[in-house]
Amino acid sequence: MSFDLKKPISIGSDHAGYAYKQFLADWLRSEGYVVRDNGTHSMDSVDYPDFAHPVAEQVESGEAAFGILICGSANGVAITANKHAGVRASICWLDELAALARAHNDANVLCIPARFVSQDLALQMMKTFMTAAFEGGRHQNRVNKISC
């Protein structure tokens, strides 16, 4: 299944991911997508859970088509987002991983490590994540076993 791209796309970052968040959100808006920017809104030091939780809540509730979270390593935002039922946040640093996160894991939040990828690669991973479909089948059986 692909994302319902008529719904808003939820995005958030900490200070380390701020420039990437702005870049990706601007690209999405230029392509006609509705973006819910959950902050941060500057490069001042902040706590990543304050921005990861709103993104995960919007994905969890179905308000957003999917989420994008960016921090330095992507670990903190992924750990935080994955505390939410129905959220499958995946850290990606290669385009192939973004494709597999969707195809095999039905991931619905893309987590980008800003300190380890270029903005161009982040954009490519986001495009791949947006358009790749979940394959279902044997992968659905595995995804069904994720929730506690």
The residues carrying an active-site annotation are 71, 104
All residues at 6 or more sequence positions from 31 whose CB lies less than 8 Å from its CB, including other chains = none
Distance in angstroms between the alpha carbons of the first and the last residue of the chain:
23
- According to DSSP, residue 21 is labeled H
Long-range contacts of range 116-120, CB-CB < 8 Å, 24 or more positions apart?
116/73, 117/93, 119/19, 119/20, 119/23
Asked if 10 and 38 touch (Cβ cutoff 8 Å), the reply is yes
Q: What is the C-alpha to C-alpha distance for residues 91 and 101, in angstroms, rounded to an integer?
A: 9
